[in-house]
């Protein structure tokens, strides 16, 4: 079956009789791109692999044939802007505790010590019990030189550890007294921590200990673990030091990954008037299934082959029309899945002044909603773009939700990294038009081998996204609609 015919089969939200010829064409083209980019041949599009090379060659060829030119504005690195990453994975873990002058060494089976730095060490530091560590406001003096001991409970999250470290704790020791096991923590943290090579990874130190081993460690001191749990839940709880000190050490193995952002440009008649930017991340996780599973490749059909397909088709439609006033840049970022690092690299070493970007639109995981779904803005109220987006939606006869509900997800996508550099960036998409659909994806196929084309993929809303984003590109690149002196921040 050809791609066009298959596209009609999978284009489930529009009855064939109701879809226009243009809609069917967009659907078929989207599916053709997704079929290639989410194939096993691309190996899950992991940065630094042959899957990256195949992905960038495919996209670069498509963009060149559409009529884009290199957008790196760097003759030494046309089209492909290098991004160097540093990955660190846990290597060594040591914990020694001193109790009334007697030393206790815990094996890795009993306590796990982790750092995002190359090596971190805290020596003979007193243990400060901070209970559940919720709603506590410390001065740096209270935490400095101390290891904060925190109960995990049934509401484990990393924010509490990060806040304690940010407030000055030398380390955080989490007692796994809830549902989490040490094995589960170790499995979750086996994956590498990543950063741009120019950024220094933190030397933070986190440790985890089982409930039974913490109870054993407290024997012979003035407190028991049962007693600490009772005290922590009291209305007048205040942190206090335990009759224990600890030496914690963690080391990591370091790997350098050479990867790339792809940047294309549709030149405008008045580049001095600024630019419009479209963004979609090209990366995914490579092989991420269980080794014993039949399917181990995370193909990322929805996340984010669908976004790559859409950005390519937006470029095609903008290139077909009359030359626009402003330049329009198309950015396919690397390393979104491991911390929005490609977007951060673009912002730290941009091919144009960031202040000249009038509007930026991120495109991520859009093959979710059927045709007829309302649009939502992820980042609504965070930029000055909303009024113009509403005007475009009205002109295109698309429904636009007047709700900030989708902002719950704003930190999970490249637009957030760009917003931190004052680039006015939003996602305008049907994927969040009915938030339950996106939540179901996050709870289902998201970041799993099942996000592939073994099942039908919804392209109805994605077709609308392409049409809306094309209209937004034309609007914001038009000096009559958005004058040059407009404050885009």
Tokens of 396: 């295109």
389, 426 in Cβ contact below 8 A? yes
Is the preceding peptide bond at 304 cis, omega within 30 degrees of 0?
Answer: yes
Angle between helix axes 50-66 and 21-37 (nearest 10 degrees) is 150
The pLDDT value recorded for residue 367 is 97
What is the DSSP code (8-state) at residue 40? G
- In the CATH hierarchy, which top-level class contains the domain 87-254? alpha beta
Q: Are strands 119-129 and 147-151 parallel, antiparallel or unpaired?
A: parallel
- Report the predicted TM-score, pTM, of the whole model to 2 decimal places: 0.81
According to CATH, where is 3.50.30.30 located in the chain? 87-254
Q: How far apart are CA 26 and CA 426, in angstroms?
A: 23
Please write the tens of the pLDDT for every residue from 115-124: 888 889 999 9
Residue 369 pLDDT more than 80? yes
Confidence of residue 178 (pLDDT cuts 50, 70, 90): confident
Beta-bridge partner residues of 170: none
Q: Please name which of 198, 202, 188 lies closest in space to residue 86, comparing C-alpha atoms.
A: 198
- Residue 282's H or E segment, with its range, is none
Q: How far apart are CA 484 and CA 303, in angstroms?
A: 35
Q: How far apart are CA 238 and CA 104, in angstroms?
A: 27
The pLDDT value recorded for residue 2 is 43
Tokens of 409: 């997800």
Beta-bridge partner residues of 126: 245
Q: Please name which of 271, 343, 268, 272 lies closest in space to residue 307, comparing C-alpha atoms.
A: 343
Residue 6 pLDDT more than 60? no
- Residue 15's H or E segment, with its range, is none
Work out the number of other CB atoms within 10 angstroms of the CB of residue 326: 27
Q: How far apart are CA 51 and CA 256, in angstroms?
A: 17
Q: Which residues of 255-287 are buried (b: 16+ CB within 10 A; e: fewer)?
A: eebebbbbbbbbebeeeebbbbbbbbbbbbbbb
Homologous superfamily of domain range 3-67+267-476: Zn peptidases (3.40.630.10)
The pLDDT value recorded for residue 193 is 78
Q: Which residues of 125-138 are buried (b: 16+ CB within 10 A; e: fewer)?
A: bebbbbbbbeebeb
Residue 486 pLDDT more than 50? no
Residue 274 pLDDT more than 90? yes
Please write the tens of the pLDDT for every residue from 199-256: 655 678 999 999 999 999 998 899 999 999 999 999 989 999 999 999 999 998 889 9
- Residue 11's H or E segment, with its range, is none
309-320: average pLDDT? 98
Residue 168 pLDDT more than 70? yes
CA 145 to chain centre: 33
According to CATH, where is 3.40.630.10 located in the chain? 3-67+267-476
């Amino acid at each position: 079956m050809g791609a066009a015919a298959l596209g009609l089969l999978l284009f489930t939200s529009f009855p064939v009789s109701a879809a226009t010829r243009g809609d069917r064409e967009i659907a078929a083209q989207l599916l053709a791109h997704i079929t290639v980019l989410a194939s096993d041949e691309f190996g899950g599009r992991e940065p630094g692999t042959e899957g990256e090379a195949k992905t960038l060659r495919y996209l670069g060829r498509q963009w060149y044939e559409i009529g884009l030119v290199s957008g790196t504005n760097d003759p030494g690195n046309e089209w492909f802007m290098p991004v160097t990453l540093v990955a660190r994975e846990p290597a060594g873990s040591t914990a020694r505790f001193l109790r009334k002058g007697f030393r206790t060494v815990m094996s890795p089976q009993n306590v796990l010590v982790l750092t995002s730095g190359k090596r971190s060490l805290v020596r003979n530091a007193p243990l400060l019990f901070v209970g559940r560590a919720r709603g506590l406001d410390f001065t740096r003096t209270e935490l400095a030189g101390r290891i904060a001991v925190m109960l995990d409970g049934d509401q484990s999250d990393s924010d509490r550890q990060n806040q304690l470290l940010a407030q000055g704790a030398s380390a955080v020791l989490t007692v796994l007294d809830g549902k989490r096991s040490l094995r589960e923590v170790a499995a979750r943290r086996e994956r590498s921590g990543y950063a741009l090579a120019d950024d220094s990874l933190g030397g933070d130190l986190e440790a985890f200990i089982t409930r039974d081993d913490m109870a054993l460690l407290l024997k012979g001191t003035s407190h028991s673990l049962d007693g600490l749990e009772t005290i922590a839940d009291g209305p007048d709880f205040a942190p206090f030091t335990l009759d224990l000190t600890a030496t914690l050490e963690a080391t990591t193995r370091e790997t350098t990954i050479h990867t790339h952002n792809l940047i294309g440009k549709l030149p405008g008649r008045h580049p001095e008037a600024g630019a419009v930017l479209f963004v979609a991340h090209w990366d995914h996780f490579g092989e991420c299934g269980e080794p014993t599973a039949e399917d181990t490749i995370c193909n990322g059909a929805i996340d984010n082959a669908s976004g790559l397909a859409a950005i390519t088709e937006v470029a095609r439609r903008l290139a077909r029309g009359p030359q626009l006033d402003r330049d329009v840049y198309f950015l396919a970022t690397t390393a979104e899945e491991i911390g929005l690092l490609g977007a951060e690299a673009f912002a730290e070493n941009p091919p144009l002044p960031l202040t000249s970007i009038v509007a930026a639109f991120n495109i991520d995981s859009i093959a979710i909603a059927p045709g007829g779904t309302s649009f939502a803005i992820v980042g609504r109220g965070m930029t000055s773009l909303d009024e113009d987006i509403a005007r475009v939606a009205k002109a295109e006869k698309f429904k636009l939700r007047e709700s900030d509900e989708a902002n719950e997800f704003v930190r999970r996508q490249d637009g957030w990294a760009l917003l931190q550099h004052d680039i006015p960036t939003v996602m305008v998409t049907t994927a969040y038009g009915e938030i339950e659909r996106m939540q179901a994806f996050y709870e289902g196929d998201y970041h799993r081998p099942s996000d592939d084309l073994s099942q039908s993929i919804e392209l109805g809303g994605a077709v609308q996204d392409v049409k809306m984003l094309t209209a937004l590109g034309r609007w914001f690149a038009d000096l009559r609609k958005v004058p040059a002196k407009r404050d885009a921040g």
